[in-house]
Amino acid sequence: MRKDIIMTTYFVRKQNFHVTKLFQLMDRLFRELVGVYQIAGKRLFLKYLFAICKRINRVVDEKSLKPADDLMAGKKICLRHFDKQVTVDSKHFGLVREIYCSKIYFPPLSGFEIKDTDTVVDLGCNVGIFTVLSAKIARQVIALDAQSKFLDDLKGNLSQNNCLDKVKIQLALVGSKTGAFAEESLLRTASHYNYLPPKMSMEDICQLQKLDKIDFLKIDIEGSEFDLFLESNVWLEVVGRIAMEVHQKYGELNSIIRILQDWGFQIWLRDKNGIFVDDLKDSLGYLYAHRNSENKCCRSCQKIKT
């Protein structure tokens, strides 16, 4: 009798687990589609809905919308976000969906909007989907990536949106001791590698680009963030907000959280489904950090000399 009760409890819990996962998947899909409709409009929304239906088996098996994203390639698309019109090649639709529709770097938290007086640093800019939107709004943007072939697409996207003059572009590998590019052989075999980038610290970047403040720092550097924060952190004195993709297989997230809290930042975590959580359970998630003007750095530290 006791064995039957244990087995029944096990199967009920297992069933509830699968129901919860299915609910999370459906909720995420709904929010993704609402985001596409809001940013891309009815016509592109219907095209994307058709792409999902066409690749529905792969979407379900992979638990990802990437198979549908791949069907969107073919021509340039016009989007509207934060009252700014952005034109991009539809081959980048997956990035557009993540950054504009899912708002992975624009959480629904007070103070994470980009302002027209801001200096924005896009660390891990890729082809510039985040960079373009930032350049449409902010005073200036510094865009960096470790893969040199991304930079041509970046310049093209900036040019067709008439904001190339507001962006300083830098090839650089930041946080070179951890992450996907911790070994030179891995970098050389990366999808958009052409030649080796210089290894730079955030202090190097601030001095080279003459930055005395970074209002908004976006970070997506494939696990290099752990080395970035374990180096000298004097540069955090000039940072106001951080939106970062976290790759937990390369390091201990709590070490970054402790450093940021020590420098006066308030922290929020968000999982890959867009849900705010106390701890990240999966290997991929997002961290947001904000220091209000009245919440000054709690350490006596020397400002970066530019």
Shortest CA distance to 67 belongs to which of 53, 47, 88? 53
Give the whole-angstrom CA distance, residue 41 versus residue 226: 38
Q: Are 225 and 93 part of one and the same domain? A: no
What does each C-alpha distance from 124 to 26, 28, 276 come to in angstroms? 30, 25, 23
CATH code of 121's domain: 3.40.50.150
Dump pLDDT digits (tens) for 165-211: 999 999 999 999 999 999 999 999 999 999 999 999 999 999 999 99
Q: Which of 85, 102, 119 marks a domain boundary? A: 102
- Note the pLDDT tens digit of each residue in 49-69: 999 999 999 988 888 899 999
What was the pLDDT predicted at 3? 52
**pLDDT value at residue 1:** 56
> Domains in the chain: how many in total?
2
117-131, 155-169, 237-251, 291-305: which has the minimum mean pLDDT? 291-305
Among 102, 126, 148, the domain boundary falls at 102
Instruction: Determine whether 94 is exposed, middle or buried from the number of CB atoms within 10 Å of its CB (0-12, 13-18, 19+).
Output: middle
pLDDT of residue 305: 38
Contact 223, 187 (CB under 8 A): no
* Backbone angles phi and psi of 293, in degrees to 5: -60, -30
Residues 73 and 160 in one domain: no
Q: Are residues 167 and 128 located together in one domain of the fold?
A: yes
The whole-number average pLDDT for the span 41-47 is 90
Per-residue pLDDT for 106 more than 60?
yes
- Are residues 141 and 5 both part of a single domain? no
pLDDT number for residue 26: 77
70 and 153 housed in the same domain: no
Question: What's the rounded Cα separation, in Å, for the pair 77 and 109?
Answer: 28
Same domain for 130 and 33: no
Tell which phi-psi region holds residue 252, choosing left (phi > 0), alpha (psi between -120 and 50) or beta.
Answer: beta
**Joined tokens for residue 242:** 């951080």
- Give the pLDDT band (50/70/90) at residue 162: very high
Range of the domain at 262: 110-306
H-run or E-run covering 85: strand 84-89
Are 142 and 88 found together in one domain?
no
Based on the fold, state whether residues 40 and 116 are members of the same structural domain: no
Q: Are 138 and 72 in the same domain?
A: no
Residue 116 and residue 55 share a domain: no
Sequence-distant (≥ 6) Cβ neighbours of residue 167 within 8 angstroms? 131, 135, 140, 141, 142, 143, 158
234, 259 in Cβ contact below 8 A? no
